[in-house]
A and B are shown apart, each in its own frame.
Chain A
Amino acid sequence: MKHVSELDLIRLASGEPVRRPDDVAAHLASCTDCAAALARQREVHAALDAWDVGPNVDMWLAIEQALDRRATLRLPWAMLAGLGRAAAVLVISVGLGFGAGRLAGVGRSIAPAQITADAALDAIGFGLIEDPSSTGLLNDILPAPDAEGTQ
């Protein structure tokens, strides 16, 4: 059998069960190294046990006072939280209404009758010309009148 593992030494010194306890016991009886290692482990455990922490403090009074403090703080916070929620609903409602109004304005279609000739010329760039007749443009786009002045 191999030497006793560190983990088994810890288990033995702690009084915890080990796998194959008979084999381990037989090995410890014949192996001075492992027996010495177990003795050292038990020494560590005994030293650790000497460290007691105290004196004991009764924490309940302090915990009860902390509970009372938190219960007092919770009340104004609940009111503030309610006000905050109401304000948030108001802001969201106004924002949604504003956004809905904007969207309705962008999609509005213009009736054909409202489209004027000037607006149409503006749209294709002829709006820049104040008076097309002054540039002779009309002569280009309209047929010249005949001698009697008719077209």
Chain B
Amino acid sequence: MSFFSEALWVLLLGSLLGLELIGKVPPTLHTPLMSGANAISGITMLAALTLIIKSGDNLPLLIIGSISLGFALFNVIGGFLVTDRMLAMFSRKKTRK
């Protein structure tokens, strides 16, 4: 099977999984869930990494890759930390309840 047809299967199954993962979300969690999903979408940092690794001595490409990686990591690290900050407040509430 070619990469492309495999990749299409992966795309299909991944989408179906994503649709199933979130069922009922309490309104309380809308904000943190959005922020967490947003951090995960920074997974595109893998593409940036691949680009840098494969670009060899091509300086413009290295620069593009590096900027791209910077943007992605800003998203990933910032996203996870800010989500954690929000969720920390909920867990405090939980222990008091």
Is the pairing of A and B real?
A: no
A-binding residues in B (CB < 8 A): none
B-binding residues in A (CB < 8 A): none
